[in-house]
């Protein structure tokens, strides 16, 4: 049956009303209904519903809305939701969950990710919810659309719906939806209350200003600071650190896995994994350096404090005319000595444990001979003791190798030197390996070296 006549409307006899069906088949109603004709209209409507074939959503009772009597309503389909890209990187989620920042210095301004970390997932679209028209026909919904990944640098798509970091660094989210990882990051000003503490997993962190007091910078790679490191600041780097300006104050600490180069040091604590290079001066600092130290440009002055290195030291001037106590210690790596001492103590402890285990095994062996066998309990104890003995012996072998390597490094340390390229003043102490001398008068260009348990010296041309 054609429904076109229902779209324009069918007049109901002797009522002045018109029965209509919407073209989308979601609604059927009667127009121009009032209190005088509603009863008659309701009766006529039941017949016309049968004639039209309406079978779903018939209202009981009908609903009067103004001068319209709604007789049947279909159910619209609900379109599906589009897919989306969800950022799941740990650092990103943690910042979102922080809500109100409790620590004003912990702003998490860099979203760090590790190599292999899942940083985003693609959420599929939903199919939508089907509807039904007043004739009982299913109305298929419009499904949501897939949203594509927009991968940038140093990320890769895995299994179609997962985005993974191919390098460690900072997560970068562009306005157009591009997701990248950056191995280099730049802070355009100071590290202060506007940035909070800074942590960076990438290769190079550039700081265009200074690191203010009370703030910490942690980086897995290199750190380049164009300004200063101020009082009570902490800088920790797995790689090299370059500071164009000054590192100052006794509450300031810098630790590097690589080398450190800076303009000057004042009253700070420095721990350097490789070499130390100071362009101007080191004043009353505590410097522990695994490699060598070079303080020979500009003033090239070391005055007060201690410079302790595993390699050699070159300075232009040591001490002052006021005879400030100054220590230059070469061929003496404090961290290596501590490690050596801890390994020796560990070996002694392991040897005592192994002796007790052997004593226990000997007792079980005697019991076995006397009683011509062992019960299940003693046999289990024997097996456990054997396993423990093997584990301890393996650990002791590993420690022996580590000790041999460290002692080989100690031998190399005996070749370390302390070179004064200009002058030194009284009360400067020169230490090389386990020998030392203290200067009692000013000296000129001279090199100190270790020979037969003592500190020797020769002039430098």
Cα separation, 303 vs 320, whole angstroms: 6
Torsion region of 241: left, alpha or beta (phi above 0 gives left; psi -120 to 50 gives alpha): beta
3 state SS of 397 = helix
At residue 335, the pLDDT reads 72
Confidence of residue 411 (pLDDT cuts 50, 70, 90): low
How far is residue 198's CA from residue 127's CA, in Å, rounded to a whole number?
A: 44
pLDDT of res. 84: 95
| Sequence-ordered alpha helix ranges (H) in 282-375 | 334-371
Residue 433: predicted pLDDT: 85
* 240-260: average pLDDT: 96
Which of 306-315, 361-370, 419-428 bottoms out in mean pLDDT, i.e. has the lowest? 361-370
What confidence tens digit (pLDDT) does each residue in 32-64 have? 999 888 889 988 998 889 888 999 999 999 999
Asked if 449 and 432 count as a contact pair (C-beta separation under 8 A), the reply is yes
Tokens, residue 304? 């007060």
Percentage with pLDDT > 70 across the chain? 97
Question: How many whole angstroms separate alpha carbon 337 and alpha carbon 396?
Answer: 19
Does the pLDDT at position 442 exceed 50? yes
Q: Which has more pLDDT, 410 or 365? A: 365
What was the pLDDT predicted at 102? 59
> Looking at residues 114-141, what average pLDDT do you find?
96
150: CB partners within 8 A, 6+ apart? 174, 176, 177, 178, 179
Nearest CA to 274 out of 253, 256, 247, 287 is that of 256
**β-strand pairing of 58-65 with 27-31:** unpaired
Mean pLDDT, range 121-134, rounded to an integer: 96
Check whether 97 has a pLDDT greater than 70.
no
Residue 149, pLDDT above cutoff 60: yes
Averaged confidence pLDDT in the chain:
92
> 90-117 burial by CB neighbour count: b if 16+ within 10 A, else e?
ebbeebeeeeeeeeeeebbbbbbbbeeb
- Pull the structure tokens for residue 127: 């199919």
DSSP 405: H
Number of other CB atoms surrounding residue 305 within 10 Å: 24
Give the count of beta carbons closer than 10 Å to the beta carbon of residue 300.
Answer: 21
pLDDT tens-place string over residues 172-210: 999 999 999 999 999 999 999 999 999 999 999 999 999
Q: So what's the pLDDT on residue 190?
A: 97
**At residue 100, does pLDDT exceed 50?**
no
pLDDT tens-place string over residues 366-398: 888 887 778 888 888 989 999 999 999 999 999
Q: What is the pLDDT of residue 223?
A: 98
Q: In what order do the strands lie in the sheet with 179-182?
A: 112-113, 169-173, 179-182
pTM for the full model? 0.75
Q: How many other C-beta atoms are found inside a 10 Å radius of the C-beta of residue 269?
A: 19
Best mean pLDDT range from 63-77, 364-378, 408-422:
63-77
DSSP 258-290: S-EEEEEEES-EEEESS-EEEEEEEEEEEEEES
Place of tokens 């052997």: 358
Q: Is the pLDDT of residue 424 over 80?
A: yes
Take residue 133 and report the two structure tokens written for it: 């028209």
Q: What is the pLDDT of residues 296-306, one digit of tens each?
A: 999 999 999 99
- For 68, 89, 371, 373, 398, the CA distances from 386, given in Å and listed in that order, are 94, 46, 21, 17, 19
Cα(307)–Cα(418) distance, integer angstroms: 11
* Cα separation, 409 vs 305, whole angstroms: 25
The mean pLDDT value for 77-106 works out to: 81
Q: Give residue 113's pLDDT band: very low, low, confident or very high (50, 70, 90).
A: very high
């Amino acid at each position: 049956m054609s429904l076109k006549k229902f779209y324009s409307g069918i007049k109901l006899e002797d009522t002045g009303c018109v029965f209509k069906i919407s073209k989308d088949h979601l609604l059927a109603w009667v127009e121009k209904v009032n209190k005088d004709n509603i009863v008659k209209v309701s009766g006529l409507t039941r017949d016309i519903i049968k004639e039209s074939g309406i079978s779903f959503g018939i209202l009981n009772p009908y609903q009067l809305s103004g001068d319209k009597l709604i007789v049947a309503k279909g159910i619209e389909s609900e379109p599906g939701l589009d897919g989306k890209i969800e950022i799941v990187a740990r650092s990103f989620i943690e910042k979102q969950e922080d809500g109100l920042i409790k620590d004003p210095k912990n702003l998490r301004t860099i979203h760090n990710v590790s190599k292999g970390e899942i940083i985003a997932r693609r959420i599929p679209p939903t199919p939508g919810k089907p509807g039904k028209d007043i004739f009982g026909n299913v109305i298929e919904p419009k499904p949501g659309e897939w949203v594509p990944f927009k991968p940038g640098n140093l990320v890769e798509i895995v299994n179609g719906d997962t985005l993974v970091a191919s390098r460690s660094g900072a997560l970068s989210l562009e306005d157009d939806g591009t997701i990248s990882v950056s191995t280099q990051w730049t802070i355009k000003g100071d590290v202060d209350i506007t940035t909070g503490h800074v942590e960076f997993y990438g290769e190079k962190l550039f700081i265009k200003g200074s690191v203010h007091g009370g703030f910490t910078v942690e980086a897995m790679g290199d750190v380049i600071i164009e300004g200063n490191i101020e009082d009570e600041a902490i800088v920790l780097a797995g790689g090299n650190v370059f500071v164009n300006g000054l590192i100052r104050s006794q509450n300031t600490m810098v630790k590097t896995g690589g080398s450190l180069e800076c303009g000057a040091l004042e009253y700070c604590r420095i721990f350097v994994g490789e070499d130390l290079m100071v362009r101007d001066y080191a004043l009353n600092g505590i410097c522990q350096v695994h490699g060598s130290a070079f303080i020979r440009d500009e003033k090239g002055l070391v005055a007060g404090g201690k410079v302790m290195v595993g390699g050699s030291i070159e300075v232009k001037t040591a001490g002052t005319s006021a005879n400030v106590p100054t220590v230059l210690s070469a061929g003496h790596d404090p961290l290596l000595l501590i490690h050596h001492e801890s390994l020796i103590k560990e070996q002694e402890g392991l040897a005592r444990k192994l002796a007790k285990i052997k004593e226990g095994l000997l007792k079980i062996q005697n019991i076995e001979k006397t009683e011509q066998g062992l019960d299940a309990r003693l046999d289990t104890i024997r097996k456990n003791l054997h396993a423990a003995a093997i584990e301890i012996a393996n650990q002791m072998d590993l420690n022996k190798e580590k000790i041999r390597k460290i002692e080989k490094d100690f031998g190399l340390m005996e070749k370390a030197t302390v070179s004064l390229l200009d002058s030194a003043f009284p009360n400067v102490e020169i230490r090389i390996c386990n020998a030392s001398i203290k200067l009692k008068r000013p000296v000129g260009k001279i090199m100190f070296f270790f020979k037969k348990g003592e500190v020797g010296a020769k002039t430098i041309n």
